[in-house]
Amino acid sequence: MEGEGNGKSIEKLRVDIDSIDYKIIDLLLKRNEIAHKVIKLKAASGAPVFDEERERLIIEKLSRYAGGRLSNDFIEKLARVFLWESKSIERPNSFRRRNDKIFSLLATRPAVIAGPCAVESEEQIMAAAAALSAAGVKFLRGGAFKPRTSPDSFQGLGDEGIRLLKAAAAKYGMFSVTEFLEINEIERHYDNVDIIQIGSRNMTSSGFLKYIAKISSQDCKPIILKRGFGSTIKEFLLARDYLARDGNPNIALCLRGIRTFEQIESSMRNTADLAAILELKSLTGSPVFFDPSHSAGRADFVPQLAEAALALGADGIMFECHPAPEKALCDGGQCLTLVASAELSKKVLSSKP
């Protein structure tokens, strides 16, 4: 009898919950209506639709209003959904939804992007994809166009590298991540990759950033922007603003070590800019990745740096691996073996967000 009474009470409470949910939908639609008026006025005056600073202020205001009754993280997620939703309605595009889904997967802690520095052969990229996907990794990296310091070093397989990366990602149900160095490469391969990487050397190339901002604004293809090795945090965020300016909100940041005086006598390739994770997380809602491979330049330091980055709040890591690191044509010294990669990935992916 008592159970029946409870059942009735629950039913009644559920009616109340439903009515609140309907009101939330009505309010969101009302909000979209007003947001569209703002978008139209902005478009008429030539102002960009996305305004990161305004979005940040809205999130701050809402967090203050909630006054701790809801977590800041929850407020931020909620606000991002309705801020971006209202803006995407203006540009219906079948690819947009897919790209938003990829980005939200990328932005879900703890994410892992892994793969070889450069795609070298079908066997190599397939072996890496097989091992990584078996460990739960969803994002397969692999360079086809490599930004090498020496013109005599291996420059990547180019178009063929993109073809092999795409085939490996498709075979193992992963999303591909690759860097482009030139506009003509993007023109040829825009539709062949899931996530565009902008490397450390190109972060300061404003013309290149503008081109990618424009082309990616149509379908909001996710972009992962690496920090220039000599760039300040402010410059890094301004580069991100270049990319977001035409309306693509799907931009992730990746720290990868910076050059300091330490490199004069250190075995490490760069100085791991780990504390910058804390600062970026406090300044921006963009997902923040850390690349322990380029930070240290030493495979033996990679697992601990990766764990440190996640402990500091990074949303994910990007690391390099190779079926036979000693034979790698590029960055072998910082590549994990496939066994070590699987071990690190499993550990990271099973850790609490």
- Smallest separation, CB 49 to ligand PEP (Å): 29
CB-wise, 48 or 333, nearer to Mn ion?
Answer: 333
In the complex, the smallest distance separating the C-beta of residue 297 from ligand PEP, rounded to whole angstroms, is 10
To ligand PEP, the closest distance from the beta carbon of 197 in angstroms equals: 6
Task: Choose between 226 and 245: whose C-beta lies nearer to ligand PEP.
Answer: 226
Minimum distance from CB of 154 to Mn ion (Å)? 11
Residue count, binding to Mn ion (CB under 5 A) = 2
**Residue 155 or 248 with smaller CB distance to Mn ion:** 155
Name the residue nearer to ligand PEP (CB basis): 63 or 295: 295
Please, which of residues 309-338 interact with Mn ion by CB under 5 A?
Answer: 331
203 is a site residue for Mn ion (CB under 5 A): no
Task: Burial-class residue 235 by CB neighbours within 10 Å (0-12, 13-18, 19+).
Answer: middle
CB of 317 to ligand PEP, least distance (A): 12
Closer residue to Mn ion, CB minimum distance, 117 or 252: 117
Residue in the block written with tokens 């959904």: 81
By a kind-dependent CB cut-off of 5 to 8 A, residue 199 interacts, out of Mn ion, ligand PEP, none, with ligand PEP
Q: Which of 112, 117, 140, 181 binds Mn ion (CB under 5 A)?
A: 117
Instruction: Tell the residue number behind the tokens 């300091």, with chain if given.
Output: 260
Whether omega before 116 lies within 30 degrees of 0, making that bond cis, reads no
In whole angstroms, how close is the CB of 342 to ligand PEP at the nearest point? 20
Tokens of 91: 């540009």
Distance CA 54, CA 150 (A): 43
Shorter beta-carbon distance to ligand PEP: residue 96 or 201: 201
Q: How far is the CB of 281 from ligand PEP (least distance, A)?
A: 20
With CB under 5 to 8 Å by kind, the binding choice for 173 among ligand PEP, Mn ion, none is none
The answer to whether 153 and 130 have CB atoms below 8 angstroms apart is no
Q: What sign does the CA torsion over 211, 213, 219, 224 have?
A: positive
Q: Which does 228 bind (CB under 5 to 8 A by kind): ligand PEP, Mn ion, none?
A: none
Taking the least distance from each CB to ligand PEP, the nearer of 117 and 348 is 117
Residue number, 189 or 256, with CB nearest to ligand PEP:
256
Interface with Mn ion in residues 245-264 (CB under 5 A) = none
256 makes contact, choosing from Mn ion, ligand PEP, none, with CB < 5 to 8 Å by partner type, with ligand PEP
φ, ψ (nearest 5 deg) of residue 146: -100, 130
Tokens representing 287 are 């997902």
The least CB distance from residue 12 to ligand PEP, in Å, is: 57
Cβ-based nearer residue to ligand PEP, 59 or 132: 132
> Which spans of this chain sit near ligand PEP (rule: CB under 6 A)?
117, 143, 147, 179, 199-201, 226, 256, 294
State which residue has the least CB distance to ligand PEP: 199
322 binds, among ligand PEP, Mn ion, none (CB under 5 to 8 A by kind): none
- Alpha-carbon gap, residue 26 to 12, rounded angstroms: 22
Least distance in Å: CB of 239 to ligand PEP? 13
- Sign of torsion, CA 76 78 81 84? negative
How long, in residues, is the chain?
Answer: 353
Structure tokens at 251: 């931009």
Q: Which residues bind Mn ion (CB under 5 A)?
A: 117, 331
